[in-house]
Amino acid sequence: MASTLTLTFVLLPVFLFVLQGAVDVEAVMTRERCNRRNSPDPRHLACQCNPRFNLGSTWHNYYYYDNEKMTCVEGAEEDNWNSFFSRDRCLALCRGTSAAAR
């Protein structure tokens, strides 16, 4: 039977390899990455942008994805990537992307 130390050295690299793939380091959306004027379109990660980063005027006829409510809400900021011209577009891109939905 293999010793505990041998099993540790064999299984630890496998565990670390699996753990590395489970962490999405790009999921953290900073104010700079959420600013339309400074960064390219982050695609589905736009839904993770804080809707209140104070990035321009608030557009009451635009929608942002609220990660806590897991739905789209009126009142998006002008230069925030988490800003969509319609509720349907917002839901199509963001539904199921919040951490709570995973």
| 1-47 tens-digit pLDDT | 567 777 666 766 776 676 665 555 556 789 999 999 988 888 878 99
Provide φ and ψ at 82, rounded to 5°. Answer: -85, 65
Q: Mean pLDDT across the stretch 88-92?
A: 95
| 53-70 tens-digit pLDDT | 999 999 999 999 999 999
> Is 0.85 topped by the overall pTM?
no
Element (H, E) at 63: strand 58-66
Domain residue spans in the chain?
27-101
Provide φ and ψ at 39, rounded to 5°. Answer: -140, 155
The encoded tokens of residue 6 equal 């041998």
Q: Does the pLDDT at position 102 exceed 70? A: no
Q: Does the pLDDT at position 101 exceed 50? A: no
Strand, helix or coil at 59? strand
Element (H, E) at 65: strand 58-66
Second-level CATH architecture of 27-101: Irregular (4.10)
Q: Mean pLDDT across the stretch 62-82?
A: 95
Q: Mean pLDDT across the stretch 72-99?
A: 90
